[in-house]
């Protein structure tokens, strides 16, 4: 059962996650650096987030541009080392606002959006890092590029638009074994020469770490039950 939000518990929750990742990797004989934990703060207010920033954590994720705009400009001014990731679906008409605020945009999944992001980069002279989201489960209701479209999308983003594509991101189907999807994403990243993998959430971050994640996206295991 997910615990309620308790500000005094945030740093301890994060430390527990880091220890769990270390233990899982050690159990599998892995000595590679453990993944960076993205603290997913969607639906939590600035005052809920600040204790974790004050404890020294600086990598956070948000799902919606509009919500992030309401809290993160002031927080980033107060904590300038913050690295803010957009991990939710991005509408093309929000591309400029996303480029203005986020340091990493993980959900590039179609040429139209990539083009809008390039236009925003050129207009604002701000250069976030980008990930391509892959729909590894071929779910029609979920964002992400289809497997057969990934190579063309990557070529368009890298070669024609000159976007900084650092890696791949996925969200496995809820009822599937996540390890299968993490292994596939790792294989795709290596095939295309991409170094970073964003995969794994509160329920499966240890599996993702073992499967080669460089970022895991953890919300409720850090913050507790989200406000309704």
Mean pLDDT of 150-166: 98
Task: Let me know if residue 118 belongs to a domain.
Answer: yes
Q: Give residue-wise pLDDT tens across range 99-109.
A: 999 999 999 99
Where residue 134 falls among pLDDT bands split at 50, 70, 90?
very high
- How far apart CA 18 and CA 68 sit, in angstroms, is 25
Categorise residue 141: left if φ over 0, alpha if ψ from -120 to 50, beta otherwise.
Answer: alpha
Query: What CATH number is attached to the domain comprising 110?
Result: 3.20.20.10
pTM for the structure as a whole: 0.96
Task: Let me know if residue 228 belongs to a domain.
Answer: no
Task: Let me know if residue 2 belongs to a domain.
Answer: no
Q: Give residue-wise pLDDT tens across range 105-133.
A: 999 999 999 999 999 999 999 999 999 99
Task: Let me know if residue 182 belongs to a domain.
Answer: yes
Task: Let me know if residue 1 belongs to a domain.
Answer: no
Q: Give residue-wise pLDDT tens across range 38-87.
A: 999 999 999 999 999 999 999 999 999 999 999 999 999 999 999 999 99
Task: Let me know if residue 145 belongs to a domain.
Answer: yes
What total number of domains does the chain contain? Answer: 1
Task: Let me know if residue 25 belongs to a domain.
Answer: yes
Task: Let me know if residue 110 belongs to a domain.
Answer: yes
What domain range is 64 assigned to? 7-223
- How far apart CA 56 and CA 161 sit, in angstroms, is 35
pLDDT higher than threshold 70 for residue 1: no
**Residue 187 to residues 55, 112, 122, 157, 197, Cα–Cα distance (Å):** 36, 26, 32, 20, 10
- CA triplet 195, 201, 205: central angle to 5 degrees? 70
């Amino acid at each position: 059962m997910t615990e309620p939000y308790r500000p005094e518990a945030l740093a301890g929750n994060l430390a527990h996650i880091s220890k769990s990742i270390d233990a899982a990797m050690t159990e599998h004989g892995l000595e590679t650096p453990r993944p960076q934990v993205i603290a997913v703060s969607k639906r939590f207010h600035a005052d809920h987030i600040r204790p974790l920033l004050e404890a020294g954590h600086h990598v956070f994720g948000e799902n919606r541009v509009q919500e992030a705009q309401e809290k993160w400009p002031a927080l980033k001014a107060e904590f300038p080392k913050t690295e803010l990731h957009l991990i939710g679906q991005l509408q093309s008409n929000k591309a400029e606002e996303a480029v203005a605020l986020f340091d990493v945009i993980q959900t590039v999944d179609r040429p139209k959006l990539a083009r809008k992001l390039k236009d925003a980069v050129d207009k604002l002279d701000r250069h976030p890092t980008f990930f391509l989201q892959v729909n590894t489960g071929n779910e029609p209701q979920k964002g992400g590029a289809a497997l057969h479209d990934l190579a063309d999308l990557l070529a368009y983003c890298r070669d024609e638009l000159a976007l900084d594509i650092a890696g791949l991101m996925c969200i496995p189907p809820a009822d599937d074994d996540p390890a299968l999807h993490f292994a596939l994403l790792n294989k795709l990243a290596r095939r295309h020469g991409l170094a970073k993998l964003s995969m794994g959430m509160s329920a499966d971050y240890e599996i993702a770490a073992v499967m080669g994640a460089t970022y895991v996206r953890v919300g409720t295991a850090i913050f507790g039950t989200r406000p309704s």
